Structure 1
């Protein structure tokens, strides 16, 4: 079944936000996007409403739609909440051990590995997003799933560059992430909730190191001042 223009637009905007092609806080040009996806204003606004409900956009009265920001308060809440949400979701997924959904998780891991092998950082980030979203689906908890999905939006946006490692240390971290995914699948499949929660926390710690590095870059080098310069 072919996707409708609304569905195509909705999925494309999700990906563009996750990849930061539409940057945090950016105002969306309603007319341009409507023309780009062949939509009139009414169905486009319906797309915006769905994405705002999911946490991708913020709708402003008389000002249209903006990409959800990554301001300080949001980042603090993200860093505080991530371990709890990720560990709880993994624990619940291991307790449920869904059959068909487990196969979906394994397929998501294959997509993640394929994206890494291709060297496409963006595709790998989206595949990692899909992997963790699938864990959330397996948890089958109507309260945790919205929280996880909202968390994953910011985690994916902040993870840009993680899957294009330039140093040996960074390549080891990516390899470790793959291994943690595989171990989490095994823990869920064997019905080991405590192990699944612990693996989710280990995986978060790996991601957190990258995120904190991105949020706290090295200072710019000092520019030498020639003798006599800067004096009043």
Structure 2
């Protein structure tokens, strides 16, 4: 597929690299918002046609996204969206407190004023999405909020694990951010307030307070997520 410049007077078609970036963004969004369900087969041919790409760049992108944890690749099988089974959920609930408290504590110690300003901007978008009732944007900006804190920790060992954790957190949160009773609505309002409190603790360099707030924040959201994903009578440990 050629990326040569078009004749004068004709509009330039998107380059292969741009179309590949667009496909990556759309696939990640469809997976995180559960438009593509866990375990769903990805139609390589359909994606190639939708984004005007040949098969090789689509396959290359599939390998990249498999390495990131979005997709599962197996020999002689079509690519599938990463599954969410009992073991993966158990691992999530065990790892989340470790990673979120570690990154939040380090962010409180090392964040720059510019990074804190960026976190406030993300929180404003999150609050607006909650107020509008925009579920997909709620999920997206919550993901961006915790990712921004992970980056503020300035620790290359923690960030890859946080990135992987956030994939499943976003998919689980799709339920939390669609409250179906007053209790869940109150919890969602509390989660917005806790985001503000986390920012305030980071801004005043109070690492202990930041950790306590993020623990309460996790406890709030995981109660609702566990209630949705855990069959009655199945005990998934929520504490390490």
2:84 counterpart of 1:76: no
Shift of residue 216 of structure 1?
3.1
2:123 counterpart of 1:123: no
Paired residue for 2:128? 114
Q: Secondary structure at the match of 2:73?
A: strand
2:155 counterpart of 1:167: no
For the aligned residues, what is the CA RMSD? 1.6
2:190 counterpart of 1:176: yes
Q: Secondary structure at the match of 1:141?
A: coil
Shift of residue 161 of structure 1?
2.7
2:203 counterpart of 1:189: yes
Q: Secondary structure at the match of 2:196?
A: helix
Shift of residue 104 of structure 1?
1.3
Paired residue for 1:227? none
Change beyond 3 A, Cα 1:187–1:103: same
Shift of residue 92 of structure 1?
0.8
Equivalent residues, number: 218
Shift of residue 22 of structure 1?
0.8
From 48, 69, 72, give the equivalent of 1:34: 48
Contact 1:177 1:206 (8 Å CA) reproduced: yes
Distance 1:77 1:166 in 2: 27
Shift of residue 218 of structure 1?
6.5
Distance 2:195 2:57 in 1: 38
Give a deviation string over 1:38-59, Cα, whole Å, max 9, x none. 1111111121122111110111
Distance 1:215 1:101 in 2: 34
Describe how 1:82-231 pairs up with structure 2 within 5 A: 82-216=96-230
Give a deviation string over 1:74-95, Cα, whole Å, max 9, x none. 1111111110111001001111
Give a deviation string over 1:19-46, Cα, whole Å, max 9, x none. 1111111121100011111111111112
Paired residue for 2:19? 5
- Structure 2 gaps of 5+ residues are 1-13, 234-240
Paired residue for 1:225? none
Distance 1:141 1:91 in 2: 11
TM-score by length of 2: 0.86
Distance 1:125 1:18 in 2: 8
Q: Secondary structure at the match of 1:60?
A: coil
Distance 2:88 2:178 in 1: 26
- Structure 1 gaps of 5+ residues are 220-232
TM-score by length of 1: 0.89
